[in-house]
C-alpha cells in the first residue's frame, strides 16, 4: 500500500517532521485505521523521495509513542490500541460524556487536537476498582488532620489566605521534607534544593518542559508509566523504550543508544511501574556512571517506596554517590490522600532557579494551608506511625488478592514483582486478546488496568494477557470477590 503525504521541500519544517506529523495526524484522525499495515521504510522512502533513514526515524518515534507497532516477520502496523485510549472513550458502545456544541472555530495546536476527543465516562460506583492508584482514605486520621487545620487557621488565618513569595514551597515544609528524605530514603540534600509541586505529575512535567525540546531523546522503562511517556512526547521528544527484567531497567540496552544524545532517563527504581521489581544495586551504579559519562539526567520517581512488606526500604539512587546527576521525585498525594496535591522535586545545586520559575509560571504556588498542615504532620511525628499502620493493611490486602487469584486460576496466573508497593502485575495464560479480556472483566464488574508498552508488541507473549492490579483502596472481601469474578470472565 502506498501512503500519500503532503510534503513541502521548501518549508522551514524539516521533512522528518512533516512525515511524522502526517502519519500521526492520519492515525489520530482515523485516516489510518487500527491494524493497518504501513509500507516498509524502504518503500515509503522511495515513494516520498526521501532517505530511508528519515522514514526509519519517523517509524521509530511513532513506535516509541505507541502509535505504531511491529509484528515479527510481518512489518509495521497502526497500533490496535492508541495511547489516548486509556484516557478517552473510543468504543462506540460506551455512553460518552455529553458535550455542548459550539459554532466557534477551534484553532488548535497539534497538542490541542490530540486532546479534543470524547471523554471517557465516570466508572459506575458498583464497579470493583483494581485500577485506582490512590491510598485507602478511610484509614487516614482525618480527626487529627482537622485538628491541625483548625489550629493553623486560628493562629494565622489571614496570612494563609494570601499570596506568598515562597514560590518553591514553604521554607518550614522544605526543612521537614529534607529531614524525612535524609532519614527514610538516604537522599542527600539541603532544603534549598527542594521544590514543592502539585503532586509528582507536575514534577515530571516541569522536568520535561525544562530539559526537552523537539528532536531530543528521553529514555524510559518498557513497559512503563504511560503518563510519563505522554509528557515527554508532548514536548516533541522521542521516547526510547528500554526493556525491564527481574533486576529492573536493562542498562546494557540503554547503552546501545550511544548514537543518540539522551537528555533524560526516567526510572522507578524502588518499585518499577508496572512490573513491581526493584533496580539492583549494581545497575544503579552502572546507571549513575553512564549518566555522568553522557551528561544525561536521571529522573528518579520514588512514588511508593515506603511500602515494602518483608524487607527494609531501598535507598535512593540520588544519595548513592556525591553530586549525582539525579532529579528526585516524590509525592504525599499517594502516601496520604489524593486531593492533597503536594509532591516534591529534589534538584541538584544550581537548578533551583529554573524550577522555581517553572512553578511560578504554572500555578504561582501550592496551597499555603495544606503546606502548613503537612509541616505539622511531619514535624510532630505523625507520619511514621501512620505509614507503619498502612504497611500492615496494604501488605495484608496484597496477600489476599494474590492468594485469591492463585486459588481461582492456579498455574494460569503468575504474579510479578517484589512484595512491595500498592500494585502488582499479573500474567494470565488465557486464549483472549487484551481487549476481549478487559471487556469481559468490566462486564463482570471488575476494572483492571491495561499496560502501556512504549515499544514493539514483540514484548508481549502470545497466549498471555497482562494487567496491573492495584489493591490499596479495596477491602479484603472485594478483593476476593474480584478474583472470583475474573475467573468466571476469563475461564468460561
For 367-424, what is each residue's pLDDT tens digit? Answer: 999 999 999 999 999 999 999 999 999 999 999 999 999 999 999 999 999 999 999 9
Query: Is 162's pLDDT higher than 60?
Result: yes
Phi and psi at 241, nearest 5°, equal -80, 130
Instruction: State the chain's mean pLDDT as an integer.
Output: 89
**Rounded Cα–Cα distance for residues 171 and 188 (Å):** 17
CATH number for the domain formed by residue range(s) 161-381: 3.40.640.10
Report pLDDT digits (tens) over 427-475. 999 999 888 999 999 999 999 998 877 655 545 677 899 999 999 999 9
pLDDT category of residue 110 using cuts at 50, 70 and 90 = low
User: What is the residue whose three cell numbers read 485538628?
Assistant: 147
Query: Is 17's pLDDT higher than 90?
Result: no
The pLDDT, as a whole number, for residue 90 is 44
Report pLDDT digits (tens) over 299-345. 999 998 899 998 777 889 999 999 999 999 999 999 999 999 999 99
**Rounded Cα–Cα distance for residues 484 and 491 (Å):** 11
pLDDT category of residue 127 using cuts at 50, 70 and 90 = very high
Kindly provide the residue ranges of all beta strands, DSSP E only, lying in 160-237, ordered along the sequence: 194-197, 217-222
- Domain 128-138+387-490 fold: 3.90.1150
Here the cell at position 380 is 510532630
Lowest-confidence region among 114-118, 133-137, 174-178, 368-372: 114-118
SS3 71: strand
- The residue among 312 and 161 whose pLDDT is bigger is 161
Percent of the chain scored above 70 by pLDDT? 92
Of 363, 370, 310, 365, nearest to 339 by C-alpha is 370
* Residue 422 near residue 307, CB atoms below 8 Å: yes
* Residue 487 near residue 408, CB atoms below 8 Å: yes
Residue ranges of domains in the chain: 15-115, 128-138+387-490, 161-381
Please tell me which of 52-56, 66-70, 450-454 the model is most confident about, judged by mean pLDDT.
52-56
pLDDT category of residue 93 using cuts at 50, 70 and 90 = very low
Kindly provide the residue ranges of all beta strands, DSSP E only, lying in 368-449, ordered along the sequence: 413-416, 423-429, 446-447
What is the model's pTM? 0.84
Q: Which CATH number fits domain 15-115: 1.10.10.10, 3.40.50.10740, 3.40.50.720, 1.10.760.10?
A: 1.10.10.10
Amino acid at each position: 500500500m502506498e501512503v500519500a503525504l503532503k510534503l513541502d521541500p521548501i518549508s522551514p519544517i524539516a521533512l522528518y517532521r512533516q512525515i511524522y506529523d502526517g502519519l500521526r495526524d492520519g492515525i489520530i484522525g482515523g485516516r489510518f485505521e487500527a491494524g493497518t499495515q504501513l509500507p516498509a521504510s524502504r518503500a515509503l522512502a522511495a515513494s516520498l523521495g526521501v532517505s530511508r533513514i528519515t522514514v526509519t526515524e519517523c517509524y521509530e518515534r511513532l513506535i516509541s509513542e505507541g502509535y505504531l507497532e511491529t509484528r515479527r516477520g510481518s512489518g509495521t502496523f497502526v497500533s490496535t490500541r492508541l495511547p489516548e485510549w486509556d484516557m478517552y472513550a473510543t468504543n462506540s458502545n460506551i455512553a460518552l460524556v455529553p458535550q455542548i456544541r459550539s459554532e466557534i472555530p477551534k484553532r488548535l495546536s497539534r497538542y490541542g487536537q490530540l486532546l479534543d476527543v470524547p471523554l471517557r465516562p465516570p466508572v459506575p460506583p458498583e464497579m470493583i476498582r483494581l485500577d485506582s492508584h490512590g491510598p485507602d482514605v478511610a484509614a487516614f486520621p482525618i480527626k487529627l488532620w482537622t485538628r491541625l487545620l483548625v489550629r493553623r487557621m486560628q493562629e494565622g488565618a489571614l496570612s494563609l489566605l494570601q499570596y506568598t513569595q515562597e514560590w518553591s514551597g514553604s521554607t518550614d515544609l522544605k526543612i521537614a521534607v529534607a529531614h524525612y528524605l535524609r532519614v527514610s530514603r538516604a537522599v542527600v540534600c539541603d532544603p534549598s534544593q527542594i521544590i514543592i509541586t502539585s503532586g509528582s505529575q507536575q514534577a515530571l512535567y516541569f522536568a520535561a518542559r525544562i530539559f526537552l525540546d523537539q528532536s531530543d531523546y528521553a529514555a524510559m522503562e518498557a513497559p512503563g508509566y504511560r503518563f510519563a511517556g505522554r509528557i515527554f512526547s508532548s514536548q516533541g521528544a522521542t521516547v526510547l523504550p528500554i526493556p525491564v527484567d527481574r533486576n529492573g531497567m536493562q542498562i546494557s540496552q540503554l547503552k546501545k543508544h550511544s548514537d543518540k544524545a539522551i537528555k533524560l532517563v526516567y526510572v522507578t527504581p524502588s518499585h518499577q511501574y508496572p512490573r513491581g521489581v526493584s533496580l539492583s544495586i549494581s545497575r544503579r551504579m552502572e546507571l549513575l556512571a553512564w549518566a555522568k559519562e553522557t551528561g544525561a539526567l536521571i529522573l528518579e520517581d520514588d512514588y511508593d517506596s515506603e511500602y515494602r512488606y518483608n524487607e527494609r526500604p531501598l535507598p535512593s539512587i540520588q544519595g548513592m554517590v556525591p553530586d549525582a546527576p539525579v532529579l528526585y521525585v516524590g509525592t504525599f498525594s499517594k502516601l496520604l490522600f489524593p486531593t492533597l496535591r503536594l509532591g516534591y522535586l529534589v534538584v541538584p545545586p544550581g537548578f533551583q532557579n529554573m524550577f522555581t520559575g517553572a512553578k511560578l509560571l504554572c500555578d504561582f504556588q501550592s496551597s499555603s494551608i495544606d503546606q502548613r498542615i503537612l509541616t505539622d504532620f511531619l514535624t510532630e511525628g505523625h507520619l511514621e506511625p501512620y505509614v507503619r499502620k498502612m504497611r500492615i493493611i496494604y501488605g495484608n490486602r496484597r496477600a489476599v488478592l494474590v492468594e485469591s487469584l492463585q486459588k481461582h486460576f492456579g498455574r494460569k496466573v503468575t504474579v510479578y514483582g517484589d512484595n512491595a508497593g500498592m500494585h502488582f502485575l499479573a500474567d494470565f495464560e488465557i486464549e483472549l486478546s487484551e481487549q476481549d479480556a478487559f471487556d469481559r472483566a468490566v462486564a463482570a464488574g471488575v476494572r483492571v488496568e491495561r499496560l502501556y508498552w512504549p515499544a514493539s508488541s514483540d514484548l508481549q507473549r502470545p497466549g498471555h494477557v497482562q494487567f496491573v492490579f492495584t489493591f490499596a483502596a479495596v477491602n479484603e472481601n472485594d478483593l476476593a470477590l474480584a478474583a472470583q469474578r475474573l475467573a468466571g470472565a476469563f475461564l468460561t
